[in-house]
Homo-oligomer: A and B are copies of this chain.
Amino acid sequence: MEHPENNEAYKGLTVNAGVEQPSSVNPYLKRKVRRRELSVDEYVDGIRQGNITILSQAVTLVESVLPEHQAVAQEVIEKCLPYAGNSVRIGISGVPGAGKSTSIDVFGLHVLEKGGKLAVLAIDPSSERSRGSILGDKTRMEKLSVHPASFIRPSPSAGSLGGVARKTRETIILCEAAGFDKIFVETVGVGQSETAVHSMVDFFLLIQLAGTGDELQGIKRGIMEMADGIVINKADGNNIEKAQLAATQFRNALHLFPAPESGWTPQVLTYSGFYNLGVKEIWDMVYAYIAFVKANGYFEYRRNEQSKYWMYESINEQLRDSFYHHPVVAPLFRQKEQQVLQGELTSFVAAKELLDTYFRELRHD
């Protein structure tokens, strides 16, 4: 029997869960309803009171590329910053088909059983809002999306991974100021997003599947070493043995890597998102990890390292932007590459010539 996850009938259901629909989608909104623009303090107060509509609007501002929106957003973020930080941030990565949305649905409901509030964010640099991103797709998190204590956003689209990562971190600040004590950050598992997500969460959870026979799905370079825990989905019915075999193979592979800085040995568990099996064990593990690293100081150390990392990432990205998009320098790249490939210039000399041009131009701007 084909696994329900792969059943085409599940795709395409739409659930309107409270985010404003563009008028082109909602036929009843023939004319644009113009909201009164809020002041910075109104945003901040609304967020601190946990007002979801105002939080939503603020996040939309953060995601906007318009300079006037960005100016307001940065002020709101700055004022929310003192109230941020009091949460547990979990990164969840898995390739398409691994059952991530279904899993987040049951994970989210589980962690909300004991109370608190959960924000589910996503990082997918290829997403464009008008098409709907693969990630943060409420339609596949049916139960969670209607839970009153949840807040789900699709990935921002920002033109670059750096931009998407920054806006996600800023959204985390707003959510935490709004009282969300649990944050999920979802990512696809086939691009560079994992490094970004790993650098903004307290625990990085990797969702895998059992492969055909004894081969497992290829994992992108370096991801396995980032995982604080690996969970094998679809451990149900006829698939249980394969899932357990896969778990064993992952445990063996983890032995090949040096012990993580945290002092914690990453665990490999099996579960079934669709049938809600093994979910409690996963979250017992996550919370055990959090208690462990809070006790040994690694939790705070990791967050501090991440903050510094993002400052320098931001610097490096803007340094590169300034050079690689410089209107005088950028047209010269193709020619210099050709000269290097033809063996006319060494890479070093080609680089130097481009940089000389760049710094000369900066002086005269």
Contacts and interface: CB of A to CB of B under 8 A. Distances in A.
Contacts of A315: 323, 351, 354-355
Copies per complex of this chain: 2
Interface in A177-235: 214-216, 218-222, 224-225
A222 B221 contact: yes
A285 interface: no
A221 B222 CA distance: 6
A359 B315 CA distance: 12
A166 B74 CA distance: 41
A327 to B, nearest CB: 16
Nearest to A317: B351
A80 to B, nearest CB: 10
A33 B257 CA distance: 51
- Please indicate which of the listed interface residues A173, A216, A347 has the most CB atoms of chain B within 10 Å of its own CB: A347
B319 A78 contact: no
Given A166-B348, A337-B311, A257 B219 contact: yes
Interface string A339-365: 011011111111110110001001101
A257 B218 contact: yes
A86 to B, nearest CB: 11
Interface stretch (A106-114, A139-147, A247-255): A247-255
A320 interface: yes
B341 A307 contact: yes
A148 B216 CA distance: 48
B222 A222 contact: yes
Interface string A146-184: 000000000000000000001001100100000000000
Contacts of A237: none
A259 interface: yes
Given A78-B346, A252-B249, A359-B362, A218 B259 contact: yes
Contact of A256 (B173, B224, B346, B348): B224
A88 to B, nearest CB: 18
A335 to B, nearest CB: 12
B365 A314 contact: no
A100 interface: no
A315 B77 CA distance: 34
A314 B347 contact: yes
B170 A348 contact: yes
A82 interface: yes
Contacts of A214: 252, 255
Contacts of A343: 81-82, 84-85
A347 B169 contact: yes
Given A311-B340, A363-B363, A346 B259 contact: no
Given A307-B341, A319-B320, A78 B249 contact: no
A130 interface: no
Nearest to A340: B307
Contacts of A216: 255-256
A49 interface: no
A67 interface: no
Nearest to A220: B258
Contacts of A258: 218-220
3 A-B pairs with the lowest CB-CB distances in the bound complex, closest first: A218-B258, A314-B351, A310-B347
Interface of A: 74, 77-78, 81-82, 84-85, 166, 169-170, 173, 214-216, 218-222, 224-225, 249-250, 252-253, 255-259, 304, 307-308, 310-316, 318-320, 322-323, 336-337, 340-341, 343-352, 354-355, 359, 362-363, 365
